[in-house]
A and B are shown apart, each in its own frame.
Chain A
Amino acid sequence: DAKTTQPTSMDCAEGRAANLPCNHSTISGNEYVYWYRQIHSQGPQYIIHGLKNNETNEMASLIITEDRKSSTLILPHATLRDTAVYYCIVGPRTGGFKTIFGAGTRLFVKA
């Protein structure tokens, strides 16, 4: 499965949009882009996923570039509770043993 590259950390002001980038230049045609977040040491929580098209749900929006080599997770109105580590991973629809969870991006939302 493809590996992803994310910034180590980012800051965001409360109430503003948080835009978290992810590079996945080696993604293959049948691999999805997934975003998870981990608050403190809880288990990672699914946020959103996409294949080719941009996606939106109640938590976030996912923007995937046309060549699928990068994506951006958007939290439209960040709150203090959104402070967490955000993981961008790529892999098949059903998950898999080759999916790599890197160190993610530590997002700090500040009042």
Chain B
Amino acid sequence: NAGVTQTPKFRVLKTGQSMTLLCAQDMNHEYMYWYRQDPGMGLRLIHYSVGEGTTAKGEVPDGYNVSRLKKQNFLLGLESAAPSQTSVYFCASTTTEKGAYGYTFGSGTRLTVV
């Protein structure tokens, strides 16, 4: 049982380039989330999804897009990367299944935009 897997783990982009971060979970969780974490700060919610085919904006959605075509995958896209998007990105999932509590997080993607 792998839990939540994020790829890639590290990436360096040039300003203006695009990329997609992949989050995959094998726990059949309904809810999935993308967070970013800047140095010394907590997690800020970018986008989230409450089920396959649905997405919604979080606290800091500008400059990002997401898609959830399959229940197990949640993709985060940067169309035109900016240095301000240098951060560590975490994916998480939760479920409404009885007996389940809290978030399961991935190990993160460290993105540097130069």
Seen from chain A, the residues whose Cβ lies within 8 Å of a Cβ on chain B are 32, 34, 36, 41-46, 49, 87, 93-97, 100-104
Contact = CB atoms under 8 A, between A and B. Distances in A.
Given A97-B56, A101-B35, A103-B41, A44 B105 contact: yes
B40 A103 contact: yes
Given A34-B102, A97-B48, A97-B58, A41 B108 contact: yes
Given A41-B88, A44-B90, A97 B105 contact: no
A42 B35 contact: no
B90 A94 contact: no
B108 A43 contact: yes
Which of A32, A42, A97, A104 gathers the greatest number of chain B CB atoms within 10 Å?
A97
Contacts of B45: 97
Interface stretch (B11-19, B65-73, B76-84, B92-100): B92-100
B110 A45 contact: no
Interface of B: 4, 31, 33, 35, 37, 40-45, 48, 56, 58, 88, 90, 92, 94-96, 100-108, 110
B31 A44 contact: no
Nearest to A103: B42
Given A102-B42, A103-B40, A103-B41, A95 B102 contact: yes
B94 A94 contact: yes
Contact of B103 (A42, A44, A100): A44
Which of A41, A43, A93 gathers the greatest number of chain B CB atoms within 10 Å?
A43
B33 A97 contact: yes
Given A41-B110, A46-B103, A94 B96 contact: yes
B71 to A, nearest CB: 16
Contacts of B90: 43-44
A81 to B, nearest CB: 17
30 contacts: A32-B101, A41-B88, A42-B107, A43-B90, A43-B92, A43-B105, A43-B106, A44-B103, A45-B105, A46-B102, A46-B103, A87-B42, A93-B101, A94-B94, A94-B95, A94-B96, A94-B100, A95-B31, A95-B33, A95-B92, A95-B102, A95-B103, A97-B33, A100-B42, A101-B35, A101-B42, A101-B43, A103-B41, A103-B42, A104-B42
